[in-house]
Amino acid sequence: MYFIDAFRKEALGFIQEAVKHLALKKGIAGEQEIIESDLSRPPEDMGDLAYPLFRYSKEFREAPNIIAQDIAELADGKKLKFTEKIVASGPYINFYARKEKMAEYTLREIMEMGKGYGDHAPKKTKIIVEHTSANPTGPLHVGRARNPIIGDTIARILKKGGYDVSTEYYADDMGKQAAILTWGTKNLRDVEVSDNTKEDHRLVSYYQKANQLMEQEKGVKEEIERLLYRCEHGDAEAMAQIKSVCERSLGGILETMRRLNITYDRIVWESEFVLNGDVTSIIEKLKGSRYAEEEDGAFFINLKDFAGEFNIHGRNARVFFQRRDGTSLYVTRDMAYHMDKMKRCDIAVNILGEDHKLQSVQVVIGLSIVRDERAEKERNRWCFRDSCIEPVFYSFVALPEGKMSTRLGRVVYIDDLLEEARLRALEEVKKRRTDISDKEMEEIAELVGTGAVRYNIIRVQADKKMVFRWEDALNFEGNSAPFVQYAHARARSILRKADYRPPEKIDYEKTANLLRDSTEIALVKELSRFPDLVRECAEGRKAHPLTGYAQSLASAFNQFYRYVPVLMAEPEEREARLL
């Protein structure tokens, strides 16, 4: 058990005991509920944990600040292992950790666990995180950069939180966009393609030109629709042709992802569910339900019976699942994919753009109909008997002049952003490091630039709007990745200059008692918070608190470094500070 967990457990135990004592004193029967999640981190200089007492006000017939004072009085003279003092602060009861215990336990945990520090006990819960899943018709633009970066970060957090996690990219090789791209590569010869060697950049020119022609020429539109029809009806030649082109484009996308340090455990092709009959099965079950209706040969499910529960009304309550020509729609194939996914996991976490909110609900209702099983809302997810679907929505990144569009060619590609980040980072490296080779400069610039991009995307809460500006994305001061990276580099430099190797046997109690300066305590406190942060982010499916924590930790280290001598300290203090 981490120090922070032991401290929380002790605080909750004290509150339980104190509230029970007050209830008995007032003659109130029954067990008073203690909510663990209510225990939170208070503002700076107001302790390390705080618990609100509003919930007991009505039952005790007293103001919460009076209850807090009564509880604080019960703490007088009480000796606790991890808690130094307990004080009333308005309607809250605040707990201050024993600094020496916090330092002793935290240092031991970090030294003994190494990179495993912050890991939580394995849970018997299988989670599939589906992210990116962009149509493989060209390179990813910055507008959708949040999807893979948020998805990959959440997957990493969940793994550290103890979950059994795998990641998937759901690639659309059945939709209209894939057919447009394929038609373009087969029929267009005079297209000016990018001189970029990456295949996704070269192919997007065919997609944009073919899309333009389809809107202008009826014959082109009909050819594309015939290709799509053949594919939907299992024509092996058509399916192979489309998938082949999509694989080429996806190869370029995956190359970009690897540069961002993002990989996938599985690529799932949409065509799999047409070929194996799952889509046909979904269609037949939907047609056989009491919700199915027909209009001009096309079929849809009428969701008016679900309107109140799912807040679906008007045109949105009509979800078409088969066109009049017998072909399926994206939402139908998405249902088939989720049926498959739910057999393989307990929770399906889907990273989705805000424009997929309606479709996400439609898929859940469709699955309820197919499975003959009502999905129940639980927190931010829809749960069936054996598995849950949990969407994490993000707002798109926009340019100052408006929304990005691959179809219209109004984009900033992620590749362009990463290259610009590398070049700007290289300028900074050249200013600061004249003592290293050009190769080392390039390696550092790549890491700093990529880190800046990932950090800048993560630091904004997923559902908050984000406008892409170069000056923000590549900011090397303040709230940025380079600020955090520089603190890390400084720490490594001190250890290198000291030629420091931790002793085989460390007296953690003695070391903790040597850390007396306020900046030392502040740094230890930040380090002790990490396991709790992992838990909070994993349970809340949130990534953005990580950047705030990294910033606070780097700032705490910089303060420690600025005000406390390390290399020039007395031997015992020097050893403790190096540790």
Q: Count CA atoms within 13 Å of residue 282 on its CB side.
A: 30
What is the rounded average pLDDT of the residues 76-81? 89
Three-class SS of 427-445: HHHHHHCCCCCHHHHHHHH
For the sheet containing 92-97, what is the strand order?
A: 49-52, 92-97, 83-89
Per mean pLDDT, which range of 166-180, 204-218, 288-302, 388-402 is the poorest?
388-402
Distance CA 114, CA 508 (A): 16
The model's pLDDT over 494-525, given as tens digits with 9 standing for 90+, comes to 999 999 999 999 999 999 999 999 999 999 99
Percent of the chain residues topping a pLDDT of 90: 73
Determine the 3-state secondary structure of 238 from DSSP.
Answer: helix
Answering whether pTM is above 0.85, one says yes
Beta bridge partners of 52: 92
The model's pLDDT over 344-368, given as tens digits with 9 standing for 90+, comes to 999 999 999 999 999 999 999 999 9
The pLDDT assigned to 31 comes to: 80
The CA angle 160-166-170, to the nearest 5 degrees, is 140
The pLDDT assigned to 76 comes to: 87
The pLDDT assigned to 402 comes to: 59
pLDDT higher than 90, residue 143: no
pLDDT higher than 70, residue 291: yes
Average pLDDT, the chain: 91
The pLDDT assigned to 407 comes to: 53
The pLDDT assigned to 472 comes to: 72
Distance CA 205, CA 194 (A): 7
How is residue 202 written in tokens? 């070269």
Determine the 3-state secondary structure of 412 from DSSP.
Answer: coil
Please list, in sequence order, all residues whose beta carbon lies within 8 angstroms of the beta carbon of residue 436, skipping any fewer than 6 positions away: 444
The model's pLDDT over 156-176, given as tens digits with 9 standing for 90+, comes to 999 999 999 999 999 999 888
Burial of 252 (0-12, 13-18, 19+ CB in 10 A): buried
What is the rounded average pLDDT of the residues 76-95? 94
The model's pLDDT over 528-561, given as tens digits with 9 standing for 90+, comes to 999 999 999 999 999 999 999 999 999 999 999 9
Task: Quote the DSSP letter at residue 123.
Answer: -
Kindly list the distances between the CA atom of residue 455 and the CA atoms of 56, 448, 501, 574, in Å, as whole numbers in the listed order: 41, 10, 31, 33
User: Which residue has better confidence, 264 or 36?
Assistant: 264
User: Which residue has better confidence, 154 or 175?
Assistant: 154
Please list, in sequence order, all residues whose beta carbon lies within 8 angstroms of the beta carbon of residue 49, skipping any fewer than 6 positions away: 7, 8, 11, 39, 40, 41, 42, 94, 95, 97
Task: Quote the DSSP letter at residue 315.
Answer: G
- Residue whose pair of structure tokens reads 């200089």 in the numeric block: 45
pLDDT higher than 90, residue 121: yes
Beta bridge partners of 253: none
The CA angle 186-278-171, to the nearest 5 degrees, is 40
Q: Count CA atoms within 13 Å of residue 363 on its CB side.
A: 27
The model's pLDDT over 430-447, given as tens digits with 9 standing for 90+, comes to 988 889 999 999 999 999
The pLDDT assigned to 284 comes to: 96
- Specify the DSSP element, H or E, that contains 165: strand 164-171
pLDDT higher than 80, residue 92: yes
The pLDDT assigned to 550 comes to: 95
Kindly list the distances between the CA atom of residue 155 and the CA atoms of 119, 127, 390, in Å, as whole numbers in the listed order: 13, 9, 13
